[in-house]
Amino acid sequence: MRIFAQLYDRTLAWSAHRHAPWYLGVLSFAESSFFPVPPDVMLAPMTLARPERWWRFALITTLASVAGGLLGYAIGYFAIEAVTPLLQRVGWWDGYLRATILYDEWGVWIVFLAGFSPIPYKVFTIASGAAAMALLPFAAASLVGRGCRFFLVAALVRAVGPRIEPLLRRYIDLIGWLVVAAVLVAWLLLRG
């Protein structure tokens, strides 16, 4: 089934749209507090479509993501009791509990790591607010972590994207199905 090739082509077309930077900003904001899709899935094709704007796209993604992280922080700070049932229903409760334990050990460094790594940053934004972490260190760690990640992604796509794009297009369905399988295996391992 060539599902991922169609999605890839559609994403590349959307990424060249004149409103794509706005969509990227909205996606980046939402992902940091409640939406499950990471902005990399839009940042990479936008950079591939317009490599000369890589730094602008990375900056939009970073700033919108940190702003969304501040919303996540506010949710945790002001409304953790109200969102607890939602966190449990969508399966983020265990991650939230693990995040609160990590704060005891790592403090602000865990926010930086969550911002840079592919682990769900939104869980840590909410946990930061619920733990009443100081806002300035939270914002600084978020800005550095998210900035490092998104500028790295955009710079790598700009540097090697045009060379690997034909190879990516050829194997996108295989890669897509392997990612689905890896996510399923990780979910089964973490669940049990």
- Which pair of structure tokens corresponds to residue 76? 């945790």
Supply the pLDDT for residue 190.
59
Supply the pLDDT for residue 163.
82
* Cα atoms in the 13 Å half-sphere on the side-chain side of 50: 17
Residue 137 in domain: yes
Number of domains in the chain: 1
C-beta of residue 77 within 8 angstroms of C-beta of residue 125? no
Residue 66 in domain: yes
- Which residue, chain included where needed, has tokens 């060539």? 2
Which domain range does residue 45 map to? Answer: 17-161
Sign of CA dihedral 56, 29, 187, 42: negative
Residue 178 in domain: no
Residue 180 in domain: no
Supply the pLDDT for residue 39.
87
Q: Which residues of the chain have pLDDT under 70?
A: 1, 183, 186-187, 189-192
Residue 179 in domain: no
C-beta of residue 30 within 8 angstroms of C-beta of residue 75? no
Residue 191 in domain: no
pTM for the full predicted model: 0.78
Supply the pLDDT for residue 143.
97
Sign of CA dihedral 9, 10, 16, 22: negative
Residue 188 in domain: no
C-beta of residue 151 within 8 angstroms of C-beta of residue 120? no
Residue 10's Cα: distance from chain center in Å?
20
Residue 57 in domain: yes
- Which pair of structure tokens corresponds to residue 184? 């399923």
Residue 57: exposed, middle, or buried by beta-carbon count in 10 A (0-12, 13-18, 19+)?
Answer: buried
Which residues, other chains included, contact 140 with Cβ-Cβ below 8 Å and sequence gap of 6+? 108
C-beta of residue 121 within 8 angstroms of C-beta of residue 31? yes
pLDDT digits (tens, 9 = 90+) for 45-62: 889 888 999 999 999 999
